[in-house]
Structure 1
Amino acid sequence: MMMEMVLSEEKAKENNINIDECYEKVDRFFEKRGIKKISKGVYQGNKKDFNTFMTAQWDLPESTWFLKIVDEWYFRYEGDTIEYREDALESYYRVEERYANYPW
Structure 2
Amino acid sequence: MMMEMVLSEEKAKENNIDIDECYEKVDHVFEKRGIKKIARGVYQGVKSDFSVFMEVQWYLPDTPWFLKIVDEWYFRYEGDTIEYREDALESYYRVEERNANYPW
Q: Into which bin does the TM-score normalised by the smaller protein fall?
A: over 0.9
The match for 2:10 is 10
The match for 1:98 is 98
CA–CA distance in structure 2, aligned partners of residues 29 and 16 of structure 1: 22
Cα gap change, 1:45 to 1:19, in 2 (>3 Å): same
CA displacement 1:5-62 (0-9 Å, x = unmatched): 0000000000000000000000000000000000000000011100000001100000
CA–CA distance in structure 2, aligned partners of residues 19 and 86 of structure 1: 24
CA–CA distance in structure 2, aligned partners of residues 6 and 41 of structure 1: 6
Equivalent positions of 1:67-82 (< 5 A) are 67-79=67-79
Residue 9 of structure 2 contacts residue 19 of structure 2 at CA under 8 Å; is this kept in 1? yes
The match for 2:19 is 19
CA–CA distance in structure 2, aligned partners of residues 71 and 19 of structure 1: 12
* Runs of 4+ with deviation above 4 angstroms: 79-82
How well do the aligned residues superpose, as a CA RMSD in angstroms?
Answer: 1.3
Q: 1:78: Cα distance to partner?
A: 2.6
Quote the sequence identity (%).
85
Cα gap change, 1:81 to 1:39, in 2 (>3 Å): closer
The match for 1:28 is 28
Structure 2: gaps of 5 or more residues: none
The AA in structure 2 aligned to 1:68 is: K
Q: 1:79: Cα distance to partner?
A: 4.8
User: Aligned residues, how many?
Assistant: 104
Q: Secondary structure at the match of 2:54?
A: helix
The match for 1:46 is 46
Q: 1:103: Cα distance to partner?
A: 1.2
